[in-house]
Amino acid sequence: MYSEKVMDHFEHPRNVGEIEGASGVGTVGNAKCGDIMRIYLDIDENQVIQDCKFKTFGCGAAVATSSMATELVKGKSIQEALEVTNVAVMEALDGLPPVKIHCSLLAEEAIHAALWNYAEKNHIEIKGLKKPKTDIHEDDHKSDDDRDVVAYD
């Protein structure tokens, strides 16, 4: 059901934790399943993401997508990080089962929320970044029975 990469990132999530004094922090949840993802970004003066960490209270797919998303945005400029969509994260994980696609949306939205927070703190506008939602929830979310892990450090 899950690719080897998904299982690897689920069992050995990268970049779990938090960044003290982070440049931007974004938290997004899905009210229907109760899953929550928080992303921390450390962004330098050249607007390059030097570090990224996450905490996810959620299903295995949410943990794997958080882990992969943090790997993908590290070292990128804030503009490049905007291109790390949920589709890009899923592709990097060799796909997700259809019922789990929405989990990857949490990762995309949490990155956007962290970038939004960074932009607000620095009074700048990030081209192409829309105000993120704090709750992503889909009417056809059917995975309430699939919450199986907590990835807090």
| Residues assigned a catalytic role | 33, 103
**Of 62 and 84, which has the nearer Cβ to ligand FES?**
62
Q: Is 111 in the site for ligand FES (CB under 6 A)?
A: no
Q: Is 35 in the site for ligand FES (CB under 6 A)?
A: yes
Question: What is the SS3 assignment for 40?
Answer: strand
Q: Is 59 in the site for ligand FES (CB under 6 A)?
A: yes
Q: How far is the CB of 56 from ligand FES (least distance, A)?
A: 9
Phi-psi sector, 98: left (phi>0), alpha (psi -120 to 50), beta: alpha
Q: What residues have CB less than 8 Å from 11, skipping those under 6 apart?
A: none
Near ligand FES in 60-79, by CB under 6 A? 61-62
Q: Is 110 in the site for ligand FES (CB under 6 A)?
A: no
Burial (CB count <10 Å: 0-12, 13-18, 19+), residue 148: exposed
**Of 26 and 58, which has the nearer Cβ to ligand FES?**
58
Helix, strand and coil percent figures for the chain, each rounded to 5: 40, 20, 40
Task: State the residues that interact with ligand FES by CB under 6 A.
Answer: 30, 33, 35, 58-59, 61-62, 103, 106, 143, 146
